[in-house]
Chain A
Amino acid sequence: MERDLGRAIERDELRLVYQPIYSLTSLQAVSVETLIRWNHPTMGTILSSEFLPIAKETGLIEHIGGWTLQESCRQLRQ
């Protein structure tokens, strides 16, 4: 899994999803929290709680974190 994770970005296997945060007064969605999923070619969708601990141990988190920051800003710009 660790070796696969190292290649997940290059293989375009990481996906970002966004959880809406709603105002309790206006009832509008006002913010979103970026969450990450890994579409593994054989293991299917892996939640961040399962692979981020590995990324933190191995140092891949810097790479994945940097990609997440850049990609979420790019995807949600208007």
Chain B
Amino acid sequence: MTDARPPRAPSTINVNLSRRQLRDPKLLNRIVHALALASLDPVMLCLEIAEQTLVDDLMEIAGVLRALRDLEVRLAIDDFGAGATSLALLREIPVDVLKLDQSFIRPLAGDQHEDQDIVAALTALAHRLGLTVTAEGIETSEHLDAVRRAGCDQRQGFLLGRPLPAYEVLDLLSRGTLVAAPVALWNATSHLATEVEPVRVVS
């Protein structure tokens, strides 16, 4: 990272939506209100909906999903592959992001090529459909290497990615150097398959 960047918000703030919230007739109003209060652009909000909820309730929530799209918020399928996975979902639901469940990621520490092939194939399919792919549950350097090779776009997990309070995560997002530091740290410690704490900002 060369020069200082102005502070910036994340490209998206991801918030989980439960089954019950999706059936709440006031959901759209609540979202519009939350965005207005924070002066946030709708594209900065990504609503994560569990694959299982989509599979179970698709008929009931199809209208809500369309309305959310019209609001221009982002939509993600969360925990894809955790349950009764339906590839048809990818065709039927207007989402932006596919979050691959950690059950796909965990076996990547082993030497079974099939596990790697499944992640690569799902990623390729999602890309063909215009989706961004986030690999969940990245806990080791082996996981990280494997999802990078499989072509995933993003990663989430405890490897350099512990949850942080707002002020720390804003700092992380605003400073390129803070991102560079853990990567250097990771390179230096990549032989350790243990969790590494992200660089902390002491206030």
* A-to-B contact residues, CB < 8 Å: 15-25, 27-35, 52, 56, 59, 61-62, 65-66, 68-70, 72-78
Nearest chain B residue, comparing its CB with the CB of A70: B34
Q: Does B105 count as interface, using CB distance less than 8 angstroms?
A: no
| Residues on B with beta carbons closer than 8 Å to the beta carbon of A25 | 153
Q: Is the CB of B153 within 8 A of A23?
A: yes
Q: Is the CB of B8 within 8 A of A78?
A: yes
Q: When A and B form their complex, what is the total count of cross-chain residue pairs whose Cβ atoms lie within 8 Å?
A: 139
| Closest beta carbon of chain A to B167's beta carbon, Å | 9
What separation, in Å, do the CA atoms of A22 and B135 have in the docked complex? 10
Nearest chain B residue, comparing its CB with the CB of A33: B14
Contact of B166 (CB < 8 Å), options: A61, A68, A75? A75
What separation, in Å, do the CA atoms of A23 and B144 have in the docked complex? 11
What separation, in Å, do the CA atoms of A35 and B160 have in the docked complex? 16
Q: Does B86 count as interface, using CB distance less than 8 angstroms?
A: no
What separation, in Å, do the CA atoms of A56 and B165 have in the docked complex? 25
Q: Is the CB of B35 within 8 A of A73?
A: yes
Contact of A77 (CB < 8 Å), options: B9, B31, B183? B9
**Which size bracket describes the interface of B in this complex?**
35 or more
User: Per-residue CB proximity of B31-54 to A under 8 Å, as 1/0?
Assistant: 101110111100001101000000
Q: Is the CB of B156 within 8 A of A72?
A: no
A27, A28, A32 — most chain B CB neighbours (10 Å): A32
Say what secondary structure dominates the interface of chain B: mixed
Q: Is the CB of A28 within 8 A of B176?
A: yes
Nearest chain B residue, comparing its CB with the CB of A20: B161
Q: Is the CB of A73 within 8 A of B20?
A: no
User: Per-residue CB proximity of B183-203 to A under 8 Å, as 1/0?
Assistant: 100000000000000100000
Q: Does B172 count as interface, using CB distance less than 8 angstroms?
A: yes
| Residues on B with beta carbons closer than 8 Å to the beta carbon of A20 | 156, 161, 164, 169, 172-173, 198
| Residues on B with beta carbons closer than 8 Å to the beta carbon of A29 | 10, 169, 172-173, 179
What separation, in Å, do the CA atoms of A74 and B168 have in the docked complex? 15
Q: Is the CB of A24 within 8 A of B147?
A: yes
Q: 20 extra interchain contacts, Cβ-Cβ under 8 A, other than A18-B163, A29-B172?
A: A16-B165, A17-B165, A18-B165, A18-B166, A18-B169, A20-B156, A28-B179, A29-B10, A29-B169, A31-B13, A31-B46, A35-B163, A56-B18, A62-B24, A65-B20, A65-B21, A68-B15, A72-B13, A74-B37, A76-B38
Q: Is the CB of B40 within 8 A of A31?
A: no
